[in-house]
Amino acid sequence: MSGSLAILDGCGGIGRVLVAEAGLGDYDVHVIDLPRSTTAHPPDVPAIPADATSETDLADATKALPSDLVGLVNLSVFMADNRSVADTGAETWNEVLTGNLIMSYAVARALKSKLCKEASFAMTGSGLGHFARLGYGPYAVAKAGVAAMTRQLALELAPDVRVNCVAPSAVDTAFPRDGTGRSKEDPEMGLDLEVYARAIPKGQVAEPADITGPILFLLSGASRYMTGQVLHVNGGTFMS
């Protein structure tokens, strides 16, 4: 498939790989990311600075995009430090819900008008939204909401637009190592990837290309009869 593709959080670890691979697939790629992230983006790909939690920024980004997107990918995630639900303050709870679930709603609401007929919209969930793990309460609830929103949007935008969700396990980028993204860099938020890998049936942590391949599949005509689905990519960590 070819045409205009918008990638939210296209400057992150997974985003950079997806931008490169999508460009090789003849997509006309447009990146939306935080202003501080777009400054380091390759100059040959249009980069629109925007905070996806800001209604004003999203409105400005929408105006800057072409009106015939064949694909939209929302890669943005936000995670706070790991605590039990009872020990998570209201401010942190609201930040995590806003940075994941409310942000996903805002992006869908703002950008759906830019999607052409037969376009594909790929959201980003998490296996944590489908099975419980200690310390991930707000994030798990937010990602479970993203999965529900995927199904809801798939119904509402059918038959013109397909909406699916990729739900990765941890990916070997800066995000799980030091908590980058909208959160403050904090070593205590880092994930011990070597320990994590030992619990995965595949025996290794995902790399960005392990996630971008399924995303490109969902964008392509090869998945033309798929909508409202959550595609788990986790090396066997969670089997639905």
105 part of the active site = no
Distance between CA atoms of 170 and 61, rounded to whole angstroms?
29
Residue 49, beta-bridge partner list: 33
Q: In angstroms, rounded to a whole number, what is the distance separating the alpha carbons of residues 27 and 59?
A: 23
Indicate the residue type of 90. A
The beta strands (E) that lie in 50-155 are given as 69-74, 115-124
If 0-12 CB within 10 Å is exposed, 13-18 middle and 19+ buried, where does residue 179 land?
buried
Among 27, 105, 136, 139, the one annotated catalytic: 139
**Helix, strand, or coil here: 99?**
helix
How far is 79 from 139, CA to CA, in rounded Å?
Answer: 6
Q: Which helix (H) or strand (E) holds 137?
A: helix 137-157
Encoding tokens for residue 145?
Answer: 């909401």
Count of Cβ atoms closer than 10 Å to residue 134 Cβ: 8
Q: Which residues are catalytic?
A: 139
